[in-house]
Amino acid sequence: MVSIAAEGVGVTLDARDVVRDVTVALAPGTLVGVLGPNGAGKSTLVRALLGLVPHAGRVTIDGEPRDALTRAERARRVAYLPQGQVLHWPLSVRRLVELGRLPHLAPFSRLSDADRRAIDRAMARADVAALAQRDATTLSGGERARVMLARALAVEAGALIVDEPLASLDPAHQIEGMELLRAEADAGALVVAVLHDLTLATRFCDRVLVLADGALATDGAPRHVLTPALLAEVYGITAWFGEGLVVPTGRVR
């Protein structure tokens, strides 16, 4: 069970305020979608939560200041799948998923049986066990996304932050990916996912944070806060709303 809280988090890159004064408390067992147009600061916000970018304000993990935790402790509590995760060497799928156990290894020790079981579990949950021996650089887009997710799941952290995990996936794989994140949240994890698909966010997320120009435009249950007025203001679009559906239909002139 891991909770993450941000207090007045702001990021300035090249004299531009990319994230401004974001205050949120994220509770365990919830699937939180981070929405907003391109350049709204979604990725930068999650990177700030992780401490990957210098920022103003405070971030606490389980009530403790993040920076008071050791790097390994932070890595054990919060797993992260960056946007467009690249793989620089042609590792086997299994070897790649093993990297997720790095924060758990004591100096000079090898993978324990417990580590191997965690790897098996992660690969089973992401449904990549059959790919174990494949070269991870030669997978299809869908396989690759699942393998990368398995790598993040292998950390078995209480919180999982994923940045556009569904990019370049077909509809079936998108739903599969969301179901997986949903299952993680239902099992007690805090899952924070940067997303673009409004319908998937509406259907699967407990809560969405909508960013506009670096600031939090709204924060709440998707069915509640994703309103025509908000979409017009934040994205500049009109949309058709159905039962669990938000379909963009045009641009606001």
Partner 1 sequence: MNAAITPTRAEPVEAPLFLPALPGGVTRLAPALLLLVLFAALLGVAVGSAAIPPGRVLAALAGRGDDIERAILVELRVPRVLLGLAVGAMLGLGGAALQGYLRNPLAEPSVLGASNGAALGAVIALYFGLAQAWPWVLPLLAIAGALATLALLFTLAGRSESPLTLILAGIAVSTLAGAGISLALNLSPNPFAAMEIMTWLLGSLEDRSFRHVLLALPCIGVGIVLLAGQGRALDALTLGEDGAAALGVDLAATRRRLLLGVAIGVGGAVAVSGAIGFVGLIVPHLIRPLTDRSPSALLWPSALAGAALLVLADVAVRVIPTTSELRLGVVTAFLGVPVFLAHLMRERRLW
Could you write out the DSSP letters of every residue in 139-207?
Answer: --HHHHHHHHHHHHHTT--SEEEEESTTTT--HHHHHHHHHHHHHHHHTT-EEEEE---HHHHHHH-SE
Nearest alpha carbon to residue 147 among 94, 84, 78, 101? 94
Q: Which neighbouring-strand residues pair with 25?
A: 5
86 binds partner 1 (CB under 8 A): yes
87 binds partner 1 (CB under 8 A): yes
CA 172 to chain centre: 19
13 binds partner 1 (CB under 8 A): no
Which CB sits closer to partner 1, 132 or 237? 132
41 binds partner 1 (CB under 8 A): no
Return the structure tokens found at 215: 């600031």
At 22 the three-state DSSP class reads strand
Q: Which stretch binds partner 1 (CB under 8 A): 16-24, 32-40, 185-193, 226-234?
A: 185-193
45 binds partner 1 (CB under 8 A): no
Nearest alpha carbon to residue 45 among 8, 74, 11, 5? 11
Among 27, 56, 59, 105, binds partner 1 (CB under 8 A): 105
At 146 the three-state DSSP class reads helix
How many positions of this chain bind partner 1 (CB under 8 A)? 56
Q: Which stretch binds partner 1 (CB under 8 A): 9-17, 54-62, 71-79, 197-205?
A: 71-79
Among 36, 103, 165, 214, binds partner 1 (CB under 8 A): 103
Residues engaged in binding partner 1 (CB under 8 A)? 1, 47, 50-52, 70-72, 74-76, 78-80, 82, 85-92, 94-96, 98-103, 105, 108, 110-111, 116-121, 123-125, 129, 132-133, 151, 155-156, 158, 184, 187-189
